[in-house]
């Protein structure tokens, strides 16, 4: 998303060239540190652990740690680099487990670990990465251990809740938002919190950035839900309707069901079916794109993005605040 020309693109919109250069240099440090942390005495463990890291990824979470650290006096401290590694190791570990639960064959364009080896290897590799993340967290001190434990609890709870239906249709929407908050919002919130804390930012900045991360992280996931319906393949790089076909509950679909309009009978019938037919999927997408639920979902994301931006008023004006505000704007506008 960065518009600077030198070095790899940043996963956040950073317009200030000096800030972008610092972030890119520190991301190189993070990448080198990650390679060391996932090296085991057993070659096979190293190979399995490196599998998804080598497949790519935007490194969005460690980048957010580094950007949030710019709000404190010690942005380049070793603790900030370690914290950036903690969140990426945690994220990588969760991907191994996600792929097993989803029976995914691909991740980041490569074979998933469970497809390349088997579920046992994927699960245990995820566990090993979680353990490496925990080791590194322990070196950051008891406060970091407490934060990481709480984050991990929320992340796993969100994953579990995604596998079970809501208690009733009346709470389906709330159930979904809780899943999103746990699976996505929690670790992004911790990324922002870690950056501020280990760079020595004031407590009010820590609190604001953690809340910002929670909101913008969940909103980003929901904007993905909207894009799954609204975008064409050539625009997004993904096949539209993938979530629909897999039966994954998303905000627009839940809003359709909550509306309960008689004129939506055909759409609901399609949503209740397997959508294996390309014709049925195409019809469902046409009906969904024209439904008021899409505008309602977009309005929700825009409101959340603005809420996140409002939290940044505690930061001094400048390139760091600009970058964080720009990311919230990207979240809001990418649903179009």
Determine the 3-state secondary structure of 129 from DSSP: helix
What is the C-alpha separation between 162 and 178, in angstroms, rounded? 9
Among 145, 170, 201, give the residue marking a domain's end: 201
**Same-domain status, 187 and 84:** yes
**Same-domain status, 92 and 134:** yes
Count of domains observed in the chain: 2
**Same-domain status, 168 and 266:** no
CATH number where 145 lies: 1.10.600.10
**Same-domain status, 179 and 314:** no
**Same-domain status, 127 and 69:** yes
**Same-domain status, 281 and 175:** no
The confidence score (pLDDT) of residue 8 equals 63
What is the C-alpha separation between 254 and 51, in angstroms, rounded? 35
| Both structure tokens of 188 | 């992004």
**Same-domain status, 23 and 122:** yes
pTM: 0.90
**Same-domain status, 233 and 196:** no
Computed on alpha carbons and rounded to an integer, the radius of gyration of the chain in Å comes to: 20
- The residues facing 111 across adjacent strands are 106
Contact between residue 59 and residue 191 where contact means Cβ atoms under 8 Å apart: no
The confidence score (pLDDT) of residue 7 equals 57
Q: Average pLDDT for consecutive 10-residue bins of the chain (336 residues)? A: 57 91 95 89 78 76 96 96 96 78 56 66 84 95 96 93 88 94 95 98 97 95 90 61 85 94 96 92 95 95 96 96 94 74
What is the C-alpha separation between 7 and 29, in angstroms, rounded? 14
Q: What is the 3-state secondary structure (H, E, C) of 206-263?
A: HHHHHHHHHHHHHHHHHHHHHHHHHCCHHHHCCCCCHHHHHCCCCHHHHHHHHHCCHH
**Same-domain status, 59 and 101:** yes
The confidence score (pLDDT) of residue 284 equals 95
The confidence score (pLDDT) of residue 5 equals 45
Where in the sequence is the domain holding 155, given as residue range(s)? Answer: 1-201
Among 201, 217, 249, give the residue marking a domain's end: 201
The confidence score (pLDDT) of residue 244 equals 87
The confidence score (pLDDT) of residue 74 equals 96
**Same-domain status, 113 and 231:** no
**Same-domain status, 94 and 215:** no
**Same-domain status, 221 and 109:** no
Among 148, 169, 201, give the residue marking a domain's end: 201
DSSP structure string for 37-89: HT--SSHHHHHHHHHHHHT----HHHHHHHHHHTTSTTTT-HHHHHHHHHHHH
């Amino acid at each position: 998303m960065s518009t600077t020309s030198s070095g790899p693109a940043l996963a956040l919109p950073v317009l200030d060239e000096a800030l972008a250069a610092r972030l890119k240099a520190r991301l190189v440090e993070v990448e080198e540190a990650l390679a060391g942390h996932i090296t085991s005495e057993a070659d096979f463990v190293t190979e399995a652990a490196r599998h998804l890291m080598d497949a790519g990824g935007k490194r969005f979470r460690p980048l957010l740690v580094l950007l949030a650290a710019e709000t404190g006096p010690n942005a380049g401290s070793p603790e900030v680099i370690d914290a950036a590694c903690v969140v990426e190791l945690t994220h990588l570990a969760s991907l191994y487990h996600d792929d097993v639960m989803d029976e995914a064959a691909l991740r980041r364009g490569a074979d998933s670990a469970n497809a390349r080896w088997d579920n046992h290897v994927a699960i245990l590799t995820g566990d090993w990465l979680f353990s490496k993340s925990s080791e590194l967290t322990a070196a950051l001190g008891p406060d970091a251990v407490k934060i990481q434990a709480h984050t991990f609890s929320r992340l796993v709870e969100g994953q579990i809740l995604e596998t079970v239906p809501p208690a009733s249709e009346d709470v389906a929407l709330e159930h979904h938002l809780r899943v999103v908050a746990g699976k996505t919002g929690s670790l992004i919130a911790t990324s922002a919190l870690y950056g501020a804390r280990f760079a020595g930012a004031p407590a009010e900045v820590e609190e604001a950035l953690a809340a910002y991360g929670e909101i913008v992280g969940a909103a980003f996931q929901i904007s993905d839900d909207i894009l799954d319906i609204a975008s064409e393949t050539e625009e997004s790089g993904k096949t539209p309707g993938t979530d629909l076909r897999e039966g994954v509950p998303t905000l627009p679909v839940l809003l359709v069901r909550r509306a309960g309009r008689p004129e939506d009978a055909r759409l609901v019938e399609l949503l209740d079916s397997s959508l294996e037919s390309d014709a049925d999927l195409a019809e469902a997408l046409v009906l969904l794109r024209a439904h008021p639920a899409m505008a309602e979902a977009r309005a929700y994301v825009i409101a959340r993005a603005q809420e996140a931006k409002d939290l940044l008023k505690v930061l001094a004006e400048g390139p760091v605040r600009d970058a964080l505000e720009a990311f919230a704007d990207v979240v809001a506008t990418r649903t179009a």
